[in-house]
């Protein structure tokens, strides 16, 4: 259950990181530039990126495991399908 929470945090933090970076870009391009706002947004970007990094470190092994499992299932399926096709062809040759 904790892993599911980590996935959710990654999705939310990723979206928030993009939103805050967009806000920062707008604040830096504003005339006149509000230095306090820019600094606060820069700190917020770092905070969100830190949370995102920690959660990604938590879920990366899980994602890697799931990827390996799914690749294995797909390879096994294709190998089984090839054997069935070979068997069908040998029956036709007879």
Rg (CA), the chain: 25
Model pLDDT for residues 34-92, shown as the tens digit of each residue: 999 999 999 999 999 999 999 999 899 989 999 999 999 999 999 888 877 776 666 66
Model pLDDT for residues 6-18, shown as the tens digit of each residue: 889 899 999 999 9
pTM equals: 0.70
Instruction: Report residue 32: phi and psi, to 5°.
Output: -75, 155
Which residue in 9, 44, 8 sits closest to 23, CA to CA?
Answer: 44
């Amino acid at each position: 259950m904790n892993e599911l929470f980590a996935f959710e945090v990654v999705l939310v933090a990723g979206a928030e990181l993009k939103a805050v970076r967009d806000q920062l870009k707008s604040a830096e391009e504003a005339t006149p530039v509000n230095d306090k706002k820019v600094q606060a947004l820069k700190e917020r970007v770092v905070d969100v990126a830190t949370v995102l990094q920690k959660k990604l470190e938590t879920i990366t092994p899980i994602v890697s495991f799931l990827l390996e499992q799914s690749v294995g299932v797909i390879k096994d399926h294709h190998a089984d399908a090839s054997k069935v096709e070979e068997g069908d062809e040998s029956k036709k040759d007879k």
